């Protein structure tokens, strides 16, 4: 599906690029070194309306997915950690409630989330399962009009910040007639007794994003905190994950563009054997590869985003085509990002191995793009199944 960014989208890109240059890039290295969550920057993003870009208009949002991808890409060019904070805040925080919440839940939680005054996480992954999310062990038992939750989650983004207001968790709520687990989604507000946010991880990359393991020990929430239909929690998660894949692809695109631009600048300044290294074919061809990857990733991201916007408007090729485009976009762009950081680091030589240069940070940040919100192997599985292959 062809796409053409509108004049409004182009103007918005300029706004986000200016914000990233002034409010993100000068501080990203310090946030990373200190493993510090940038609360002030998140608040400024909220003031810009970034967290509401794909949210329903009746709750203060803009309902435009392409704009969200632009925001993630431009912020991600300066700081991948802040880019994933936006992506998870919208895709895993706002989207489940906006898509499956009842009117009371939307009225209670969405205004602050959309305005960026609060953040929410989504507790799916567990210590003993990752891609096999259907193997959830956390349990939620209905006792006297309350859900009593016991279990553990891990790698949960935006779950322990001073802005975090809730985490939506998947949990077993019973057994289906075919013997498989009945999995539902339950909203657990921050501060619920028995809900413990464990100390954050010491991560290789995304160091200034917020990521924690969570523990639930007889954590009780009212019965009306069930999100969506009983027993549909896993299916609901799968339904929102497609948008997350495209948004991660946008983050990967920001990484690729940053690597290309930094490497081109360095190759024009660094001299070897009396001439800038960019004049050497060995370097110039690598820069050409970076540009080709950036161009291809751009096409994959924004053609998929255009599909999503068309679906929201009641047109377009439909969800099946969008799911395929989302999986392909995530698979290819995240792979390109990992390769782009390796190439850029090689061009920088020994300097690329020094933390004083942003290339080192992008190199560390890139790998998780192939893991989070569906590994590359899962994307290949989805694409293969779309070809009609009965693959496990």
Q: Is the dihedral of CA 170, 171, 172, 173 positive or negative?
A: negative
Q: Which of 40, 269, 373, 377 is catalytic?
A: 373
DSSP states along 140-187: EEEETTEEEEEEEEEEEETSSSTTEEEEEEEEEEEE-TTS-EEEEEEE
Q: Residue 126 has what DSSP assignment?
A: B
As a whole number of angstroms, the distance between CA 98 and CA 92 comes to 11
Q: How far is CA 11 from CA 15, 202, 327, in A?
A: 6, 38, 28
Q: What are phi and psi of 128, to 5 degrees?
A: -110, 10
Residue 179 burial by Cβ neighbours in a 10 Å radius (0-12, 13-18, 19+): exposed
Structure tokens belonging to residue 222: 């009212």
Alpha helices in the chain (DSSP H): 7-19, 28-34, 39-47, 65-78, 80-88, 95-100, 103-115, 233-269, 281-312, 319-348, 358-366, 376-386
Establish whether 87 is a catalytic residue. Answer: no
Closest Cα partner for 227 from 285, 184, 176, 265? 184
Where in the sequence numbering do the catalytic residues fall?
373
């Amino acid at each position: 599906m062809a796409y053409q960014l509108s004049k409004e989208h182009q103007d918005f890109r300029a706004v986000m690029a200016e914000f990233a240059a002034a409010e993100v890039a000068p501080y990203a290295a310090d946030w990373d070194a200190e493993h510090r969550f940038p609360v002030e920057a998140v608040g400024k993003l909220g003031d810009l309306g970034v967290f509401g870009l794909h949210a329903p208009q009746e709750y203060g949002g803009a309902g435009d997915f392409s704009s969200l991808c632009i925001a993630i890409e431009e912020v991600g060019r300066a700081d991948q950690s802040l880019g994933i904070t936006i992506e998870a805040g919208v895709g895993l925080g706002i989207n489940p409630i906006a898509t499956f919440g009842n009117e009371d839940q939307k009225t209670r939680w969405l205004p602050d989330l959309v305005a960026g005054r609060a953040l929410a996480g989504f507790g799916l992954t567990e210590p003993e399962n990752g891609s096999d999310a259907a193997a959830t062990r956390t349990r939620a038992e209905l006792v006297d009009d309350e859900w009593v939750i016991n279990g553990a989650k891990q790698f949960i983004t935006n779950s322990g910040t001073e802005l975090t207001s809730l985490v939506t968790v998947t949990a077993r709520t019973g057994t289906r007639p075919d013997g498989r687990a009945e999995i539902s989604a339950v909203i657990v507000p921050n501060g619920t007794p028995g809900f413990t946010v464990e100390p954050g991880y010491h991560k290789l990359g995304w160091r200034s994003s917020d990521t924690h393991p969570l523990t639930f020990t007889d954590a009780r929430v009212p019965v009306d905190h069930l999100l969506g239909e009983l027993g549909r929690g896993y299916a609901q998660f799968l339904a929102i994950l497609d948008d997350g894949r495209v948004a991660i692809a946008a983050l990967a695109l920001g990484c690729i563009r940053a690597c290309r631009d930094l490497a081109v600048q360095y190759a024009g300044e660094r001299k070897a054997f009396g001439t800038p290294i960019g004049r050497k074919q060995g370097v110039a061809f690598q820069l050409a590869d970076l540009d080709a990857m950036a161009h291809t990733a751009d096409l994959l991201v924004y053609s998929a985003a255009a599909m999503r916007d068309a679906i929201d408007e009641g047109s377009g090729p439909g969800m099946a085509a969008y799911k395929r485009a989302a999986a392909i976009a995530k698979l290819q762009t995240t792979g390109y990002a990992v390769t782009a950081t390796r190439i850029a680091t090689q061009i920088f030589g020994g300097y690329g191995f020094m933390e004083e240069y942003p290339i080192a940070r992008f190199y560390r940040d890139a790998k998780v793009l192939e893991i989070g919100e569906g590994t590359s192997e899962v994307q290949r599985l989805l694409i293969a199944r779309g070809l009609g292959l009965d693959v496990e």
